[in-house]
């Protein structure tokens, strides 16, 4: 029995070890910093690396270079490296964009470096709450350029942020004010704000000049004159300390060092968008950073859109990079795009007058891609990245089975008196994302053909014969020749499955014949000219893969009278490639509905009519 118990204990220990190992592997199996990732300084030389939802991705540990009880302020350089102030370690730890510590930065820290930022030239400023209280300025290599002996209120140059003018340094001193110092002319300026309840800690300048500040009991938004215009708080939180802006420009993050809770707030509404707990003890959370964060001092920005996206494999995806100096577009700069992941590729584009450059590629493999854009401005390298997920939703042969309602309409103005102007296809596909005409061919009675190919369309699809600007590939058709016209359409569209939200694809091939007489639409059996409308329905809808019978219903809407509609060719192509054709079929009626019942598989000519028939 003892041996069995020992074996059981050993098995449990082994399983626990395996689970622990798997858990560690899950956390550490990450690649590079991603736009919107959140970094939380939690002490003991460590920073938690989390994704934009707050989920833990990794823990960065700088203890191999610096031992520090507290980790505090953080900032990113233009290459995406992370710099972490090691408070009581009197150092700054530098981490590459894979989360790997690579050394220390700078020197001459007098006591407890806490806040850090980059200016528009890549220089680094570090604030000290203790020691000589100075703000230090370094070049991008870590060489000390200058020390600013700034006046203090309670405790040094605690938290700092530099304005877009590259001169005005805003800082807190754990008092009740926000102070300012001119680092260009080395002189003190008037206080930005006074009378806060304090102690004041981290602060950030917004693009419009407003300022956010963590004020212990709550967080304030101040206007450009230093007046409080909004206050943010969460139940039970009274130690607001860390604060940073989200790259979306509409929200910010803050943390409470008493509870170790981290929150994301909407700037305009004050709504709590996200929250999580770091799982670390009281007085451990003293810094926050967000990858892609925008600071007032970093004037030149390279932004990518969309930040995230999900597409079906086999489709294309376009990323737009925008290069701005403040709010001014930068034209003529080469943006290099690189895709890493399941669909590796690369390309480049030059920014236009709006500062925009685009990159399009096709994903043929399911999985995740990271798209990185890079450019150089004034010898500074700017980098941005976004993510892309590709899904395979065409498996099993079911995604192309959807045959939706189509409505084919031939137009003439005022229905009777004017010349025919064109036709349009009104495709009723629910949850439609996009549609494309591929190799749509219009043939006139003299066998002249006009091709519309790879034309992205919105629905309804309109083909106007007298509009020379309808399609630059065609040039328009100015004259409706009398006789039988044929329009052959290939339509590809994608839509969302309503329950699963999976993207699916519809491919349809339709050929329509219609008659023109004296420039007007006309039909045999009647002297009057009418516009007409045919609706082609597939039943059941959607058509299942194993369908034995599909009903095709054709409805005509026109003024009463015996008319003949020629459908000389109607092809329906199944996803399997099977083509069902109807050739030379006159459909006559004296009412508004004709039905065709077709058995599948079977002879395409084996059809039967139902409904009213002419005598």
- Contacts of residue 274, defined as CB under 8 A and 6 or more positions apart, other chains included, come to 53, 54, 263, 264
The parent domain of residue 547 ranges over 395-610
Say if residue 58 is in the same domain as residue 165: yes
Residue that wins the pLDDT comparison between 292 and 211: 211
Q: 249 pLDDT exceeds 60?
A: yes
DSSP 533-545: EEEEEEESSSPPT
Task: Give 414's pLDDT tier (boundaries 50, 70, 90).
Answer: very low
The arithmetic mean of pLDDT across residues 11-37, rounded, is 46
Residue that wins the pLDDT comparison between 181 and 481: 181
Q: What's residue 121's pLDDT? A: 82
Residue that wins the pLDDT comparison between 89 and 2: 89
Instruction: Give the count of domains, the chain.
Output: 3
Q: 106 pLDDT exceeds 50?
A: yes
User: What gap in Å lies between CA 325 and CA 315, rounded to an integer?
Assistant: 34
Domain end point (choices 262, 290, 318) = 290
Q: What's residue 38's pLDDT? A: 97
Q: What's residue 444's pLDDT? A: 66
Q: What's residue 226's pLDDT? A: 96
User: What gap in Å lies between CA 276 and CA 266, rounded to an integer?
Assistant: 16
Residue that wins the pLDDT comparison between 415 and 273: 273
Q: What's residue 324's pLDDT? A: 80
Residue 484 lies in a domain: yes
Domain end point (choices 290, 325, 341) = 290
The arithmetic mean of pLDDT across residues 98-109, rounded, is 95
Residue that wins the pLDDT comparison between 389 and 181: 181
Say if residue 56 is in the same domain as residue 155: yes
Residue 13 lies in a domain: no
The arithmetic mean of pLDDT across residues 268-296, rounded, is 93
The arithmetic mean of pLDDT across residues 154-166, rounded, is 93
| pTM tops 0.95 | no
Cβ-contact 586, 546 below 8 angstroms: no
CATH number of 345's domain: 2.60.40.10
Task: Give 451's pLDDT tier (boundaries 50, 70, 90).
Answer: low
Task: Give 216's pLDDT tier (boundaries 50, 70, 90).
Answer: very high
Residue 225 lies in a domain: yes
Residue 16 lies in a domain: no
Say if residue 304 is in the same domain as residue 329: yes
CA dihedral of 498, 500, 504, 508, whole degrees rounded to 10: -40
112-121, 169-178, 216-225, 469-478: the lowest-pLDDT one? 469-478
User: What gap in Å lies between CA 398 and CA 504, rounded to an integer?
Assistant: 9
Q: 125 pLDDT exceeds 60?
A: yes
Task: Give 367's pLDDT tier (boundaries 50, 70, 90).
Answer: confident
The arithmetic mean of pLDDT across residues 266-295, rounded, is 93
Q: 199 pLDDT exceeds 80?
A: yes
Say if residue 540 is in the same domain as residue 459: yes
Residue 615 lies in a domain: no
Say if residue 225 is in the same domain as residue 81: yes
Q: What's residue 454's pLDDT? A: 54
Domain end point (choices 270, 290, 310) = 290
Beta strands 168-172; 178-182: pairing state:
antiparallel
Residue 556 lies in a domain: yes
Say if residue 308 is in the same domain as residue 228: no
Report how far apart the first and last C-alpha atoms of the chain are (Å, whole number): 96
Residue 598 lies in a domain: yes
Say if residue 225 is in the same domain as residue 262: yes
Residue 17 lies in a domain: no
Q: What's residue 575's pLDDT? A: 43
Give me the chain's average pLDDT, please. Answer: 71
Say if residue 267 is in the same domain as residue 315: no
Q: Is 101 helix (H, G, I), strand (E, B) or coil?
A: strand
Say if residue 558 is in the same domain as residue 469: yes
Q: 23 pLDDT exceeds 60?
A: no
Say if residue 354 is in the same domain as residue 446: no
Residue that wins the pLDDT comparison between 441 and 512: 441
- Matching residue, tokens 């007098």: 110
Q: What's residue 524's pLDDT? A: 34
CA dist list (Å): 505 to 391, 430, 579: 13, 12, 18
In degrees, rounded to 5, the angle at the alpha carbon of residue 373 between the alpha carbons of residues 369 and 376 is: 160
Q: What's residue 87's pLDDT? A: 95
User: In 121-239, where do the E strands start and end?
Assistant: 124-127, 135-138, 144-148, 159-162, 168-172, 178-182, 187-188, 203-205, 211-214, 219-222, 228-232
Say if residue 267 is in the same domain as residue 332: no
Q: 530 pLDDT exceeds 90?
A: no
- Give the burial string for 266-288 (b: 16+ CB within 10 Å, else e): ebeeeeeeeebebebeeebbbbb
Q: What's residue 295's pLDDT? A: 85
Q: What's residue 585's pLDDT? A: 43
Say if residue 350 is in the same domain as residue 409: no
The token pair at 554 is 């054709």
């Amino acid at each position: 029995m003892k041996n069995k118990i020992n074996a059981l204990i050993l098995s449990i220990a082994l399983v626990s070890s395996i689970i622990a190992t798997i858990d560690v592997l899950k956390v550490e199996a990450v690649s590079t910093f991603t736009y919107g990732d959140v970094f939380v300084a939690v002490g003991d030389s460590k920073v938690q690396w989390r994704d934009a939802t707050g989920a833990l991705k990794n823990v960065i540990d700088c203890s191999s270079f610096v031992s520090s009880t507290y980790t505090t302020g953080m900032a990113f350089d233009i290459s995406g490296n992370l710099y972490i102030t090691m408070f009581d370690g009197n150092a700054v730890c530098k981490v590459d964009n894979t989360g790997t510590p690579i050394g220390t930065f700078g020197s001459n820290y007098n006591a407890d470096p806490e806040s850090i930022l980059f200016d528009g030239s890549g220089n680094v400023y570090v604030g000290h709450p203790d020691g000589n209280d100075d703000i230090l300025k370094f070049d991008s290599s870590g060489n000390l350029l200058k020390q600013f002996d700034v006046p203090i209120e309670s405790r040094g140059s605690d938290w700092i942020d530099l304005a877009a003018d590259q001169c005005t340094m805003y800082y807190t001193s754990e008092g009740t004010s926000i102070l300012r110092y001119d680092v260009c002319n080395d002189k003190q300026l008037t206080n930005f704000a006074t009378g806060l309840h304090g102690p004041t800690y981290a602060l950030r300048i917004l693009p419009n000049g407003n300022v956010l500040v963590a004020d212990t009991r709550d967080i304030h938004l101040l206007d450009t004159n230093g007046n409080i215009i909004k206050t943010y708080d969460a139940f039970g939180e009274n130690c607001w300390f860390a604060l940073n802006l989200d790259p979306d420009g509409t929200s910010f993050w803050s943390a409470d060092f008493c509870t170790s809770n981290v929150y994301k707030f909407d700037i305009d509404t004050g709504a709590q968008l996200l929250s999580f707990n770091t799982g670390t003890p009281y007085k451990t959370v003293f810094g926050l950073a967000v990858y892609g964060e925008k600071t007032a001092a970093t004037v030149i920005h390279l932004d990518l859109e969309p930040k995230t996206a999900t597409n079906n494999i086999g489709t294309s995806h376009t990323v737009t990079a925008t290069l701005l100096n403040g709010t001014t577009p930068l034209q003529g700069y080469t943006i290099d795009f690189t895709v890493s992941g399941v669909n590796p590729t690369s390309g480049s584009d030059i920014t236009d007058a709006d500062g925009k450059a685009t990159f399009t590629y096709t994903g043929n493999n399911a999985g995740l891609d990271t798209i990185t854009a890079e450019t150089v401005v004034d010898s500074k390298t700017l980098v941005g990245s976004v993510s892309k997920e590709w899904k395979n939703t065409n498996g099993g042969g079911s995604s192309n089975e959807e045959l939706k309602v189509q409505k084919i309409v031939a137009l003439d103005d005022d229905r009777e008196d004017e010349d025919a102007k064109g036709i349009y296809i009104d495709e009723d596909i629910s949850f439609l994302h996009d549609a494309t005409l591929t190799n749509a061919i219009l043939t006139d009675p003299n066998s002249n053909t006009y091709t519309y190919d790879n034309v992205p369309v919105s629905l309804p699809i309109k083909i106007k014969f007298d509009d020379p600007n309808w399609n630059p590939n065609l040039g328009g058709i100015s004259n409706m020749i009398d006789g039988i016209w044929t329009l052959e359409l290939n339509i590809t569209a994608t839509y969302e499955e309503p329950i699963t939200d999976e993207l699916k694809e519809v491919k349809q091939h339709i050929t329509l014949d219609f008659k023109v007489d004296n420039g007007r639409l006309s039909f045999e059996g009647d002297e009057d000219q009418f516009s007409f409308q045919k609706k082609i329905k597939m039943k059941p809808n959607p058509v299942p893969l194993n369908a034995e019978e599909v009903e095709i219903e054709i409805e005509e809407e026109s003024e009463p009278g015996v008319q003949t509609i020629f459908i000389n060719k109607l092809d329906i192509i199944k996803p399997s490639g099977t083509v069902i054709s109807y050739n030379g079929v006159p459909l006559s009626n004296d009412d508004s509905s004709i039905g065709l019942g077709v058995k599948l598989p079977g002879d395409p000519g084996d059809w039967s009519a139902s409904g009213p028939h002419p005598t």
